[in-house]
Amino acid sequence: IFDEPEQARQETAILHVHPLNWPRHQWLVSSSNDARWHDGAVRLSSKLIALGIPHTAILDENTHEDLVSAFADDAISFIMKSLEAEARRVS
């Protein structure tokens, strides 16, 4: 797809995030057991931190086989808090 590695790097999603106009509520979870996704999730979190973009990342060395079951309560709690914050912001 790209002729040079630098071209691919320039197309990473994080470089397209405006520093003053980013999603207000971001949450991600990744298991170190999933080699295909975990490194990318760690890298995304570190780039968001470097840009000062608030987010919630659960990147523990967890051993949960089923991330959906293990973190569903956390996800729902995050969604509810985020919706409440947005409701207060727009009212």
Dist CA 77 CA 73 (whole Å): 6
* pTM of the shown model: 0.74
Residues 62-87: tens digit of each pLDDT:
666 777 888 899 999 999 999 999 99
In this prediction, residue 5 carries a pLDDT of 84
Q: φ, ψ for residue 29 (rounded to 5)?
A: -135, 145
The per-residue pLDDT for 62 is 66
Q: In which residue ranges of the chain is pLDDT below 70?
A: 14, 61-64
What is the predicted pLDDT for the residue at 87? 96
Boundaries of domain holding 62: 5-90
| Domain count across the chain | 1
pLDDT at 63 (0 to 100): 67
